[in-house]
């Protein structure tokens, strides 16, 4: 009986141990962005980025490392708008993100960061706009 209990215990420990190739809690890319890096010139610019996944939300937006407050915006919704003077991010439907940036009249480039999440998968879009 003790041997049987020992074998069952060992089997349980081995079968529950972590596999380094597929760690628990990390999902594969289920957002599938059409583009993650965007380069704009200093003029007013727009781009539409598509996703294959339909179940995602925006977790963070930053402009030049300054976090934008998203408390009053439901980024889980099928459509929403995040708008500041320098940029506009719009989820037009479940698979499109529309990004526009106003003309950059400054002498330094702008970097817009958009963090996305779907379950336990995290991704980002980085938009760099050059200076005049």
All structural domains of the chain: 27-129 (2.60.40.10)
- With cut-offs at 50, 70 and 90, classify the pLDDT of residue 3: low
pLDDT computed for residue 6 by the predictor: 47
Contact 54, 95 (CB under 8 A): yes
Distances (CA, A) of 78 to 26, 34, 58, 90: 25, 18, 11, 10
pLDDT computed for residue 87 by the predictor: 98
pLDDT computed for residue 43 by the predictor: 98
pLDDT computed for residue 23 by the predictor: 43
Contact 82, 73 (CB under 8 A): yes
Q: In this predicted model, which residue has the larger pLDDT, 108 or 8? A: 108
Model confidence over 75-97: pLDDT tens digits?
999 999 999 999 999 999 999 99
- With cut-offs at 50, 70 and 90, classify the pLDDT of residue 69: very high
pLDDT computed for residue 36 by the predictor: 98
Sheet holding 96-101, edge to edge: 45-50, 96-101, 87-93, 80-83
């Amino acid at each position: 009986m003790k041997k049987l209990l020992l074998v069952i215990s060992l089997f349980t420990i081995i079968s529950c141990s972590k596999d380094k190739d597929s760690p628990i809690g990390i999902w594969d890319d289920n957002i599938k962005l059409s583009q993650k890096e965007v380069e704009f010139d200093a003029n007013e610019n727009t781009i539409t980025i598509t996703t294959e996944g339909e179940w995602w939300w925006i977790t963070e937006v930053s402009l030049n490392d300054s976090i934008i407050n998203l408390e009053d915006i439901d980024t889980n919704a099928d459509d929403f708008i995040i708008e500041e003077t320098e940029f506009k991010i719009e989820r037009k439907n479940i698979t499109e993100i529309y990004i526009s940036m106003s003309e950059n009249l400054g002498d330094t480039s702008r970097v817009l960061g958009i963090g996305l999440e779907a379950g336990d998968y995290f991704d980002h879009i980085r938009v760099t706009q050059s200076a005049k």
